[in-house]
Amino acid sequence: MLTPLGSGLACFLADEWDEVEWQVFVKATGESWWFQNRFVRLAESATLGVGSSPFTRLPPTLERHAERYRANGWLPPAPPAPAP
């Protein structure tokens, strides 16, 4: 599973009528995070024929955490901003 904080292992799905959330263990840190469905993507899988999709926008709260993780070396540098 691709998340705003890096790749992870999806372990649980919560369906709250109008919103789906995933519990994901981030591989780089081992931390458990809950992400709304719109913020996660299926990881690249040659078996399923699925390619990866980069995130182009993060909510401010997740971007703050991602920057902290990048500063600690737990995540790779941020991808370049998309061209307008």
33 or 71: whose pLDDT is higher? 33
How confident is the prediction for the chain on average, in pLDDT?
Answer: 76
**φ/ψ of residue 14, rounded to 5:** -115, 125
Weakest mean pLDDT among 1-5, 39-43, 58-62, 64-68: 58-62
Query: The tokens of 21 are what?
Result: 């959330």
Please tell me the predicted confidence (pLDDT) of residue 54. 47
pTM of the model: 0.52
DSSP string across 34-76: EEEGGG-BPPPBTTTTBPP-------HHHHHHHHHHHHTTSSP
Q: What is the mean pLDDT of residues 38-42?
A: 83
Please tell me the predicted confidence (pLDDT) of residue 83. 67
